[in-house]
Structure 1
Amino acid sequence: MAKPEVTDGTDFSRFPLLYRDGTIQRLRGNEFVVPPSLDPDARVHSKNVIYSQEGNLSVRLYLPRNTNPGQNLPLVIYFHGGGFMLETAFSPTYHNYLNILVEEANVIAVSVDYRRAPEHAIPVPYDDAWTALEWVASHVNGNGPEEWLNSHADMSRVFFVGDSAGANMTHQMAIRYGQEKLLGVDLIGVVLVHPYFWGKEPIGNEPKDLETRGYIDCLWHFVCPASNGCDDPLINPSTDPKLASLGGTRVLVFVAEKDWLRDRGWYYYENLRNSGWEGLVEIVESKDEAHIFHLSKPNCDNAAAMMKNIVSFIYSDKP
């Protein structure tokens, strides 16, 4: 299928190339930043820790440098984006962003790395994410395998955060948490930044031509070949009968005016608000910005405003 002409800031070259012999080439998102760990000059300390020996999967932990012994901090569990196909928890993009988030919000963070499609199609990324959450929960009584979480993670103030495909994963983890719980882990809030949701029928100002929609549909089937289509609850939460059971008491959704996924974020907000879910959902739109602009322009005014909103959300006293 030919690549459609897109004029709203969507960059389909971000997705990997699949050759006839089965070889997959990722053009970006594979760079690896070695964490500074306990470098005394780093404002935020970080290190990698394996959460699944079976899959040899790791998280990157972040802790503010000025954290005192025994000091408990809100715990942010972050799921990176990249269309389920690109980026890692260790790439410069996410390492830099998590450093900013952890410093600004004064939180301890777990940035989850997971196996990527198409080599590991959905639901593998979701299953890896849940395994990471179970690993985090093993620290509830202060006797887990990682000392930073034992000493500093406040399991009564936990937040799931993600962008793009990571926001999709964040939503799915909150749904699963609402169904299964994690003993001792109190999920307070969920932050979805430019969530990767879609649907069979166009809404709002989404492209309506068959070529563009067909291409976007193909991207979903590329990462989830077993899906029955773009009204699958995994990509279209409005079709999910479990929507009202979402875990947590607060949800914050970010959308960007020039993002091709903007209307889906608004649609999610409206559907969750009207689903019977008993929590509080808010939405913030960034004007004149495109998809995940805050990652490429972390110092711009709109990115700073987004960060301020996230910090306020974490420390809000709203129920």
Structure 2
Amino acid sequence: MNSINVADDVEYEILPILRVYKDGRVERLVGTEVIPPSFDPQTNVTSKDVVITPETGVSARLYLPKITDSSRKLPLLIYYHGGRFCVYSPFHPAYHNYLNTLVSKANVVAISIDYRRAPEHRLPTAYNDSWAALQWVGSHCRDGGGPEAWLNDHVNFERVFLGGDSAGGNIVHNLAIKVGRDELHGLNPYGIALVHAYLWGLTPIGSEAVDPVKKANVDYVWPFLCPSSPSNDDPRVNPFAVEAPRLEHLKCKRVLVCVAEKDVLKDRGWLYYETLKKSDWEGVVEIVEAEGEDHVFHLYNQTTEKAHDFMNTFAHFLKN
């Protein structure tokens, strides 16, 4: 992310992803492509879109693998996309293709959540939308009484996973903490996956200060997203802040933390893993690091050997 540049008709811009004009217009420079739901013949995965909250427009894309035994219930992955809370959606080709492959490899049902984005909807809107989506999924836990047949008919609600990359990984952490405090129709996540999660803080750790430009760019993100609480030590972005809930309160049994060697967020992922492993949390946490790779590399080019390795790691986590 580059610094703000103010032109005559531009209020601010965050290059190379976003430009906001003085008249309120928002121009997204990446992540605007969309692809419709479909049957994918390469993976035998079928997808469709559903509206979760008509009042706000929160929706999702559902994925169903090839069903060979209709009596067998499958794990469910609830996925939250990345994009700095500003860009991309579940309907972008990269996410659509990625979920098709993951659903096929892991043999799971998946639902990819379309939360509202900044700057039109500053935080905590994305958290509220994501929680509403989780409540909607939870409404299917009780005797198959939810509104979506795919969830009623095919999901084992004892094996629900939350997963997300970048901003989505941040959402997953916060949801897993919140589930431990609030009633959710009996829905208790079995596991969570934080993929290159956007976690930060005021005081640099590890290698974060090595590249001042990268650090400055990340320093700006949270104040832009959440002007009502602009500190990078807000507990929602810094799980290690003094006022943050302790990680042992995570409501799940398994955690997968994924980091990339060249990602400026890498050391926060390692700290998350090490802190959780040393805590009183009663679960299993594992971490994988992609050598020589940068932030969400697996989405930008899904055909590389390391992208395949990561896909297999994620699929294995969902199977076990």
Give the TM-score normalised by the residue count of structure 2.
0.91
Say whether residues 1:188 and 2:190 are aligned partners: yes
Alpha-carbon displacement from aligned partner over 1:188-242 (angstroms, at most 9, x marks no partner): 1000100101110111111357665443222211111112411111111112134
Partner of 1:89: 90
CA contact (8 A) 2:196 2:296 kept: yes
Say whether residues 1:308 and 2:309 are aligned partners: no
CA RMSD, Structure 1 to Structure 2 (Å): 2.0
CA contact (8 A) 1:84 1:125 kept: yes
Partner of 1:113: 114
Secondary structure at the counterpart of residue 240 of structure 2: helix
CA contact (8 A) 1:71 1:151 kept: no
CA contact (8 A) 2:273 2:287 kept: yes
Q: Count residues in correspondence.
A: 308
CA contact (8 A) 2:74 2:156 kept: yes
The one-letter amino acid paired with 1:294 is H
Higher relative contact order (CA 8 A, sep 6+): 1
Q: 2-side partners of 1:101 and 1:308: how far apart?
A: 8
CA contact (8 A) 2:82 2:164 kept: yes
Give the TM-score normalised by the residue count of structure 1.
0.91
Say whether residues 1:269 and 2:270 are aligned partners: no
Aligned pairs (5 A) from 1:116-265: 116-140=117-141, 141-207=143-209, 212-239=214-241, 240-265=244-269
Alpha-carbon displacement from aligned partner over 1:7-35 (angstroms, at most 9, x marks no partner): xxxxx634311222322110111211111
Q: 2-side partners of 1:51 and 1:121: how far apart?
A: 20
CA contact (8 A) 1:159 1:314 kept: yes
User: Are the structure 2 counterparts of residues 101 and 42 from structure 1 closer, same or farther at C-alpha, using a change threshold of 3 Å?
Assistant: closer
Q: 1-side partners of 2:113 and 2:160: how far apart?
A: 15
Gapped regions of structure 2 (runs ≥ 5): 5-13
CA contact (8 A) 1:74 1:108 kept: yes
Q: Percent identity?
A: 48
User: 1:121, CA displacement in angstroms?
Assistant: 0.8
Gapped regions of structure 1 (runs ≥ 5): 5-11
Secondary structure at the counterpart of residue 183 of structure 1: coil
User: 1:265, CA displacement in angstroms?
Assistant: 0.8
User: 1:58, CA displacement in angstroms?
Assistant: 1.0
Alpha-carbon displacement from aligned partner over 1:229-269 (angstroms, at most 9, x marks no partner): 11111111112134221110110000000111111111111
Q: 1-side partners of 2:199 and 2:212: how far apart?
A: 18
Q: 2-side partners of 1:238 and 1:201: how far apart?
A: 11
Q: 1-side partners of 2:45 and 2:68: how far apart?
A: 10
CA contact (8 A) 1:202 1:208 kept: no
